[in-house]
Amino acid sequence: HNDYVQLMQALRQQMPSLRQTEKVVFMGHGASHHAFAAYACLDHMMTVQRFPARVGAVESYPEVDILIDSLRDEGVTGVHLMPLMLVAGDHAINDMASDDGDSWKMRFNAAGIPATPWLSGLGENPAIRAMFVAHLHQALNLAVEEAA
């Protein structure tokens, strides 16, 4: 739970100023492994805490169509698309931000919700990097304790 809260605080630092009817949509990679549930958990926490963002995944749940329908029902009039990935690579460039008809940008636009993509990976966020370093320290300390 604490990691999700820290992640949301870190994500807020990179979010643009939003109008009342705008949200950020974070695009995660997704997975066929049961760990994909983390995306839905984060999305749920954002919704419950009225955090002005949603989470979807390219290759698993929650799919972009679910987000489009939900955001349209909420009356959202614009979204900012951001990768929920360390690097803004192939998925961010092609699946999220491109002018290809199947990209998230074009799908939101076609649904009447203008989308502005941002191509910055989480690795550019200092608070995210600090989370990685803290977890590395915890893992190293645990390894030292177990080796003793």
Q: Which residues are known catalytic residues? A: 29
The residue whose two tokens read 């002005």 is: 52
Residue with tokens 């950020």: 24
For residue 105, give both structure tokens: 């940008």
The DSSP bridge partners found for residue 143 are none
> What phi-psi label fits residue 135: left (phi over 0), alpha (psi between -120 and 50 degrees) or beta?
alpha
- Tell me the β-bridge partners of 53: 24
d(CA 104, CA 108) in angstroms, rounded, equals: 6
